[in-house]
Amino acid sequence: MPFMRGLRIVGGNRLSGTIAAHGAKNAVLPILAATVLCSRSEIKNCPDLSDVAVSCHILRHLGFAVERAGDTLTVTREDTGCRDVPPEWMRAMRSSILFLGGMLARCGSVTLCPPGGCALGGRPIDLHLSALRQMGAVITEEGDTLRCTAPGGLHGAAVRLPYPSVGATENLLIAAAGTPAETKITGAAAEPEITDLMAYLRACGALIESRPDGAILVQGREALTGCCHTILPDRIEAATYLAAAAITGGKVTVYASPEHLAAPLAALRRMGCRITTGEQSITLIAPERLQGAGNIVTLPYPGFPTDLQAIFMALAAAAEGYTAFTETVFPRRWAHVEELRRLGADITVAGSHAVIRGAPLIGSALTCTDLRAGAAVVLAALAARGESTVTAISHIERGYADFVPTLRHLGADICLTEV
């Protein structure tokens, strides 16, 4: 068995210090997909992530020049490019499906296959396809290939999403911004990353009105100019490092928006953490021992984010008392449970519910099953007694830039190794 890159962790250190969250992965990916509508865009505060690299490969294949200078990506249209996204890049991440809306609006055709992404239970794209079909897209499914065209161009529509799907909302917004007509979206998701995408599209020339009732009105344009846009801080990354301080009895300040983390901060307070906030900063002081958080139900924003469920389950595993999770967004998002059990976690799962009773954690050999599950097992290992190893860390590198250096900066005994 060839050596694989992994992590070696010795638990017990209290984490403390100050860090700034990188640009949000789940904002930069839809915005890079939206750049296909424009002639030139400058995207600042872009994290250096493998998923961002995949987006850059796709953009170059579609006829765009992509240059990185520090944390700024410049995307410039060069030639007509190809009108397909190769399967290996479609399957590399979920966000590759977000090129569908922009390519249909800009050039009226694209061939692709269903996207990849973290294995969280089924990840269909029916809501994406149904929404774009209501704008005039003709999408035929031939085996694993989706041939998508917009004969005569896309047209405006009044689309109601039956579920506030983040990705379907983003695909629809991108398609509508590049279509010279009015499109009304109801039932849309309202995550901060979607607000950031709308800010980018507005700056590129699309007229987008967010109504108090949640409806979104888009007046798109045939040719959008592009703009210079700075990606908002990553709230999930910020909460991950706050959780690292919480589980190790430390103290951390993170520069990110507390408004975007209201539900997770409330749970951390229930667990005994002292939290103070500034306009764009959050400081957490952990108790000697965390308490159970009671009930946590994952919901679309502003509810508790499903992306923090695994990470908060790690906290609950180390806490005193009980925490119960109800996972309503991805009801089978439990791949991390088996790994946490290897550390001694006491977890019972039934359908979309899980109950955790805190227990002493002992170091073990662990693996990452998906991006947030990987972060969760690392946090649990930081609190466990003794040494742990973690494999398949490429999952973590999809969503956390400088993960190991940042944890070492905060005082963790963690290093890359061959396992």
> Using CB under 6 A, which of the segments 24-32, 221-229, 258-266, 310-318 binds ligand EPZ?
24-32
Site for ligand EPZ in 285-314 (CB under 6 A): 306-307
Taking the least distance from each CB to ligand EPZ, the nearer of 286 and 376 is 376
Amino acid at 157: A
Nearest distance from residue 39's CB to ligand EPZ, in Å? 25
Can you spell out the DSSP letters for 149-215?
E-TT-----EEE-SS--HHHHHHHHHHHHTSSSEEEEES----HHHHHHHHHHHHTT-EEEE-TTS-
* Beta strands per DSSP E along 265-331: 274-277, 282-285, 294-298, 322-327
Binding mask 88-107 for ligand EPZ (x = CB under 6 A): ------xx------------
Query: Distance between CA atoms of 340 and 408, rounded to whole angstroms?
Result: 22
Choose which of 21, 85, 150, 168 interacts with ligand EPZ (CB under 6 A): 168
Helix (H, G, I), strand (E, B) or coil at 245: helix
> Using CB under 6 A, which of the segments 126-134, 211-219, 225-233, 380-388 binds ligand EPZ?
126-134
Does the protein bind ligand EPZ through residue 371 (CB under 6 A)? Answer: yes
Choose which of 2, 122, 152, 212 interacts with ligand EPZ (CB under 6 A): 122
Query: Distance between CA atoms of 405 and 336, rounded to whole angstroms?
Result: 23
Nearest distance from residue 373's CB to ligand EPZ, in Å? 9
When computed from its CA atoms, the radius of gyration of the chain, rounded to whole angstroms, is 21
> Using CB under 6 A, which of the segments 10-18, 141-149, 166-174, 407-415 binds ligand EPZ?
166-174
In the complex, which residue's CB is closest to ligand EPZ?
167
Q: How many residues bind ligand EPZ (CB under 6 A)?
A: 26
Catalytic residue among 38, 46, 113, 118: 118
Planar angle of CA 203, 208, 213, nearest 5 degrees: 140
Report yes or no: 246 and 274 within 8 Å, Cβ to Cβ.
no
Choose which of 64, 200, 241, 330 interacts with ligand EPZ (CB under 6 A): 330
Query: Distance between CA atoms of 393 and 416, rounded to whole angstroms?
Result: 10
Of residues 114, 224, 148, the one with CA closest to residue 179: 224
Nearest distance from residue 344's CB to ligand EPZ, in Å? 25
Judging by DSSP bridges, how do beta strands 251-255 and 16-20 pair with one another?
A: parallel
Does the protein bind ligand EPZ through residue 200 (CB under 6 A)? Answer: no
- Catalytic annotation on 148? no
> Using CB under 6 A, which of the segments 159-167, 255-263, 279-287, 348-356 binds ligand EPZ?
159-167
Nearest distance from residue 395's CB to ligand EPZ, in Å? 10
3-to-80, 291, 364, 392 alpha-carbon distances in Å: 43, 39, 18, 11
Query: Distance between CA atoms of 320 and 101, rounded to whole angstroms?
Result: 47
Site for ligand EPZ in 29-88 (CB under 6 A): 29
Q: What residues make contact with ligand EPZ under the rule CB under 6 A?
A: 25-26, 29, 94-95, 118, 122-128, 163, 165-168, 189, 306-307, 329-330, 371-372, 399
Active site amino acids? 118
